[in-house]
Amino acid sequence: MTSQRARDRLIERLRGEGIRDERVLTAMRQVPRHLFIDEALASRAYEDTALPIGKSQTISQPWVVARMTEALLGAGPEQPVPKRVLEIGTGSGYQAAVLSLLVDEVHTVERIDELLRVARKRFRTLGFANIRTRHDDGRAGWAEHAPFDAIIVTAAGAMVEPALLAQLKPDGVLVAPVGGSTSQELQRWRNNGQGWQPETLGSVVFVPLLPGVA
């Protein structure tokens, strides 16, 4: 269940469910998702489902990872790929690993120290050298390294934090789930020349974006 064949089956399922960007599918085929979850759950790694990673957090459903990554990259291969991306909510590290194969630099912030330490070890072991990590309140972003070409948020807040939009380049893009515990939508924010405006990409379910550090 952790073989390349299992990964290939997942990619074909994602393609059948509407993921069109072959760059995203190729990256997800390369990243060993079973190494980003507990060994006891490894047999379920290539199911298209979210799985627990401890501390009341989850590794996102592969389709959601693919959809958010696709939304971040833009309309298609003719669009310039973001060079520097900020991720809010490292979690297991899987989303950052997928992004690291597609962009020059990934900066990722996690509020739960224990999760971040495990993710850092995975990055080192698997050779993801272009990922920088920080233990902090993700709602504040990472201002020292701003502006970013793109920001991806992997936990749901009632609104998009103004501090994050302020850390984007004028032509940047932010992808985030927005809403409460019972209703959330995936949004893509871009600047139309008159300010940042959201585009709704569909319904999703994420853990909440919490304040502070743990």
> Which residues, in sequence order, are bridge partners of residue 150?
85, 173
204 in Cβ contact with 64 (< 8 Å):
yes
Are β-strands 148-153 and 196-204 bridged in parallel, bridged antiparallel, or unpaired?
Answer: unpaired
Residue at 53: amino acid letter: I
19 contact partners, CB below 8 Å, separation of at least 6: 25, 63, 66, 67, 70
Distance of alpha carbon 115 from alpha carbon 26, whole angstroms: 26
For residue 175, CA distances in Å to 57, 137, 168 come to 19, 18, 12
Residue 56 known to be catalytic: no
The catalytic residue among 60, 181, 183, 203 is 60
Residue at 106: amino acid letter: V
167 in Cβ contact with 148 (< 8 Å):
yes
Residue with tokens 């709704």: 200
Which residues belong to the active site? 60
